Structure 1
Amino acid sequence: MVSAPRSTARRGRPPKSLTAPQNSGRTQRPGTQRAAAKEATRLKLIEATIDSIAHSGFADTTLAKVSEGAGLSRGIVNFHFTSKDALLVETLTHLADEYTGFWKAAVEKAGSDPAARLSAIIDAEFHPTVCNRKKIAVWYAFWGEARSRPTYLDVCERQDRELLETVQALCAELVVQGGYETVEAEDVATGLMALTDGLWLDLLLTPTRFDRNGARRVCMAFLTGMFPRHFPSTGAAVPAA
């Protein structure tokens, strides 16, 4: 008599031949899902912080108000951020990364021509994604605190320095291409950045009079004065020959 083969299945699990077919579709691992959920919650808290600072200012922005604005418990806030200062630093870093990533993407998309790249930076400066009254109010709040907060100052200076160096390098290329012997690239870059800062302030203080297209025209007129062969009076960048 031949005995039946012994089942190799573990207790509580049917033999392999009887198990349901494995799902061939890719599924997200539990660890990845948890990380994604954690990041989504973190961003929700940062957005609530931006809303609170824009509406109430620094002093009246508290962890309790942020949790209420995000629709989350105070315990969730404390889990992600150990203090109000930690939350504020993360909020500033988020804004800086968003802003820098936005203009860098615009420059990359513009190609290799320095005039087109400079024009793309101006377009990015006044795009509603980064240039809106709420975010500008928060930027000015952080700038106001930066003098006495080294961490804030470091984030702001690092972001400003990277943009200024990029604009200056592009201006230097235009000086060589166009033979603008009397133009100093550093001065043009500093002037252009000061101009965009002032126009951002206009949006914050006089939003009903602010015009994005008008702000862009002001910047392009400045570049026309500096690099007339690359930026005609129409405001469009002329590619290098």
Structure 2
Amino acid sequence: MRREEILAATVDEIEATGLRALRVADVAGRLGLSASLVIYHFQTKEALVAAAFAHAGESDLNRAREIVDTDAPATARLSDLLAWYLPSGSTRAWTIWMDAWSSALFDAEIQSTLTVLDREWQDVFARVIADGVATGEFALDGEDPGEPAAVAATRLLAYLDGLSVRLMVGPGEEERATMLAWVEEFADTLLARDATSAAPGGRAPGESLPPHS
């Protein structure tokens, strides 16, 4: 049994039942293994959970990088990224991140994992923002576009995360469409972006998990 299979099963179990109800025995049961074999690979439940969050995060990040690393204009890539990132009522993927954030208040290992993932998310958003500055699609204060792009990425992610939690608590497609429009408007203002060139993308939110959000 590969380590990645155990991590994927752990992510599935957290999404299905929530972190508070997670039992190593249930993860093992999904794979037809004994709980002791799972513990053999990860030593403790806490280490298993932290590794599962890292596994899920990298899966989401890889999908986000696929969206960003294309030849499309930066405006289109950013809109696709925003539309994919914001959760819909049909996905359970964001439940794992809500669990992770709340658990990080009391678990240093999870907090460390999320800190690393957060920096990587900032890098993804900052890259497409810097691309837009370089092509004249976006405008930021400062002579060096690198640092302002990182700050803009942090602000945009904070706005997205706040709206995403609200959507997960009371999901609805009509509300999601409204909030996606808010995100686009926020990006227009933050990046001095031409609103007429920003069309919400058609990516399926959360498709990267069994999809951070």
Point out where structure 1 has 5 or more consecutive residues left out of the alignment: 1-37
Q: Distance in 1 between matches of 2:119 and 2:17?
A: 29
Q: Distance in 1 between matches of 2:200 and 2:17?
A: 40
Question: Aligned pair in 2 of structure 1 residues 190, 93: CA closer, same or farther (>3 Å)?
Answer: closer
Give 1:66's match in structure 2, choosing from 27, 34, 49. Answer: 27
| Alignment of structure 1 residues 108-147 onto 2, 5 Å | 108-109=69-70, 111=71, 113-126=73-86, 133-147=91-105
Q: Distance in 1 between matches of 2:138 and 2:185?
A: 19
Amino acid of the residue matched to residue 207 of structure 1? Answer: P
Amino acid of the residue matched to residue 80 of structure 1? Answer: H
Deviation at 1:189, TM superposition (A): 2.5
Secondary structure of the 2:22 match is coil
| Alignment of structure 1 residues 212-231 onto 2, 5 Å | 212-227=176-191, 229-231=193-195
Q: TM-score, normalised by structure 2?
A: 0.72
Contact 1:52/1:61, CA 8 A, preserved across alignment: yes
**Percent of paired sites with the same residue:** 23
Deviation at 1:135, TM superposition (A): 2.3
Asked which structure has the greater RCO (Cα within 8 Å, sep 6+), the reply is 2
Q: Do residues 161 (structure 1) and 119 (structure 2) align?
A: yes
Question: Aligned pair in 2 of structure 1 residues 179, 58: CA closer, same or farther (>3 Å)?
Answer: closer
Amino acid of the residue matched to residue 201 of structure 1? Answer: V
Q: Distance in 1 between matches of 2:36 and 2:112?
A: 30
Deviation at 1:98, TM superposition (A): 0.6
Q: For the pair shown, which has the larger CA radius of gyration, 1 or 2?
A: 1
Q: Distance in 2 between matches of 1:233 and 1:107?
A: 17
Q: CA-to-partner distance for each residue in 1:85-125, whole Å, 9 max, x for gaps?
A: 2311221111111111110111112x264323322321331
Q: Do residues 98 (structure 1) and 98 (structure 2) align?
A: no
Higher deviation after alignment, 45-54 or 61-70: 45-54
Q: How many residues align?
A: 195
CA RMSD of aligned residues (A): 3.3
| Alignment of structure 1 residues 202-213 onto 2, 5 Å | 202-208=166-172, 212-213=176-177
Give 1:152's match in structure 2, choosing from 107, 110, 121. Answer: 110
Q: CA-to-partner distance for each residue in 1:58-94, whole Å, 9 max, x for gaps?
A: 3431212222344433344244333212311221111
Contact 1:50/1:138, CA 8 A, preserved across alignment: yes
Q: Distance in 1 between matches of 2:104 and 2:156?
A: 22
Secondary structure of the 1:199 match is helix
Q: Show the counterpart of 1:25.
A: none
| Alignment of structure 1 residues 31-70 onto 2, 5 Å | 38-39=1-2, 42-70=3-31
Q: CA-to-partner distance for each residue in 1:29-64, whole Å, 9 max, x for gaps?
A: xxxxxxxxx33xx44433442343344443431212
